[in-house]
Amino acid sequence: MKSPSGSPTREINKRLLLSIHQDGFFDILAGLIVINFGWVPILDATGLNPGVRQTILLTFYGLSIVIVIWLKRRITVPRSGYVKLAKKTRSRLSIVMLIVNMVLFVIFGGIYLLDIPLWSYFGSYQMSVPLGLIFMVLFSFTGGLLKAVRFYLYGILVLFSFIGSEHLFLVGRAAHHGIPLAAFVSGGIIFLSGCIFLSKFMRRYSA
């Protein structure tokens, strides 16, 4: 018998899906999203119809989300009775990493928006700085929501990956402003990190 909409059982399942991050699935999804983003300039360069390009990208994003949610329900939910949910209070490390990310956001945001003379060198990084900051903010928000310090680190990783890859583009060693390289490398690291967490989670908790 199915639980009615808004029932306690459904609410508990919803909270478990949002609260349990030890399984690594949020990391895997985050890595896939970043990797998928790396295909944007590559598809743009193919000359495909814009509608076709958008359809391809949205399909990849949609499949990533659906597959991760399905696996989370199949693997995490059956083990939810064994999982201790994260505490609601932030750890000191979480607060420190949040401050670090905020400082980096202010510094690089100021460099890009205010064109500070001392840092005019970064004026060449027209793609990497804003894109890296956007991803860093998104990962910081996720880290705060899940109380997971590693997502703050992911944000810093993506930011500096985009800046480093665009530097390679500027010296002629990467294509498309270095976006594909940055996305594939940083997204791949995040994806592999999620797989490691998933492996540990499955060994620790049996269904």
% of the chain with per-residue pLDDT over 90: 34
Judged against a pLDDT cut of 70, whether residue 125 lies above it is answered with no
Torsion from C-alpha of 33, 151, 166, 64, nearest 10 degrees: -10
Model pTM above 0.95: no
C-beta of residue 127 within 8 angstroms of C-beta of residue 179: yes
With cut-offs at 50, 70 and 90, classify the pLDDT of residue 127: confident
* H-assigned helices in 38-178: 39-44, 50-71, 92-114, 128-146, 149-170
Which whole-number Å values give the CA distances from 83 to 78, 135, 207, in the listed order?
10, 29, 11
Query: Taking residues 80-104, what's their average pLDDT?
Result: 62
Structure confidence at residue 69 as a pLDDT band (50, 70, 90) = confident
Residue 25: band (very low, low, confident or very high) from pLDDT cuts 50, 70, 90: very high
| pLDDT tens sequence across 28-58 | 999 999 999 899 889 888 888 888 888 888 8
Q: How far apart are CA 124 and CA 174, in angstroms?
A: 15
How many residues are there in the chain?
207
